[in-house]
Amino acid sequence: MCRYRAALAVPLVFLAVIACTRSASQPTGSTSSPLQAGAPLVVQSSQQTGLWVTGEGKVTLTPTLALLSLGVEARADTVSKARDDAANAMGRILESLKANGVAQRDIQTRHFTVQPLYTYRERVLPGGERQGEQVLVGYQVSNQVSVKVRALERIGKVVDDAVAAGGDLVRVQGVAFSVDEPEQRQATAQARELAVKDALEKARQMAGSAGISLGKLLYLTESGSVAPVYREAVATAVPAAPGPPTPIVPGELTVTVTVQAVFAIP
């Protein structure tokens, strides 16, 4: 009888050893990994690997047009009076622009507003208490246009005549210099080509200095470009007596393109 019981205990102990071995091969609380589930192992490479360089290209241009921003601002007790004053002043400005050779297609209304004007005052209530309130004092009408002046040699006279025509109601926000769109696209393409060449040259130099070989190009992107626009503020005051013309110098414009490149290191 005792030998029968001992024979039964052997397989039971064997099964227990197998169970313990399997349990020890897997950490407690862990879930099945992609390898255990049969999924492929994907190793993600860091984007910081390789040789990273930044290239810059610049092209200098001579401005071909001026962008003039000006308008009128009229105030009056009534909306109709403020509107009439602004309309008359803007009409005179447009006539002066036309007389200076500015085409109708180069004039565009950019901003027109009619708004009330308030002032703040205090009044004394019965009992001596003071109370503040807003009081309507009139209305303001603003009309702003942008003007393309293609004859740069006349920009000073264009500004002077427009200021004189608008009188005390004129407001000049400033002058910006630029080039026509086809020339701007061509300059940007040239600057981009120079930026790529600059990045390649830097990469070769860095690889040579480090004593390594330069691998294939892995990544190339344009990280930024600067549009060729140069701004200059213009005074809005009307001289009391005729004086010299307003000097406005176009200068030069610079188109800048920046690229970033990543090369493999074999």
Q: Tens digit of pLDDT per residue, the chain (266 long)?
A: 444 444 434 343 333 333 334 443 444 444 444 334 333 333 334 456 899 999 999 999 999 999 999 999 999 999 999 999 999 999 999 999 999 999 999 999 999 999 999 998 888 778 778 888 889 999 999 999 999 999 999 999 999 999 999 999 999 999 999 999 899 999 999 999 999 999 999 999 999 999 999 999 999 999 866 666 655 555 444 444 456 778 888 888 999 999 999 999 98
pTM for the whole structure:
0.65
Q: Which amino acid is at 245?
A: P
- Its CATH architecture, for the domain 67-120+141-174, is 2-Layer Sandwich (3.30)
Domain spans in the chain, listed from the N-terminal domain onward: 48-64+179-266, 67-120+141-174
Contact 194, 57 (CB under 8 A): yes
Task: Judge whether 48-64+179-266 and 67-120+141-174 match in fold.
Answer: no
Give pLDDT, residue 258. 96
What integer pLDDT is reported at residue 231 of this predicted model? 56
Q: What is the fold, at CATH topology level, of the domain defined by 48-64+179-266?
A: Translation Initiation Factor IF3 (3.30.110)
Return the structure tokens found at 124. Answer: 């004394």
Contact 138, 119 (CB under 8 A): no
Q: Give me the residue label for tokens 């800048």.
A: 256
Q: Which residues sit opposite 140 in a β-bridge? A: 75, 115
Question: For position 167, what pLDDT does the model report?
Answer: 95
pLDDT, position 37 = 38
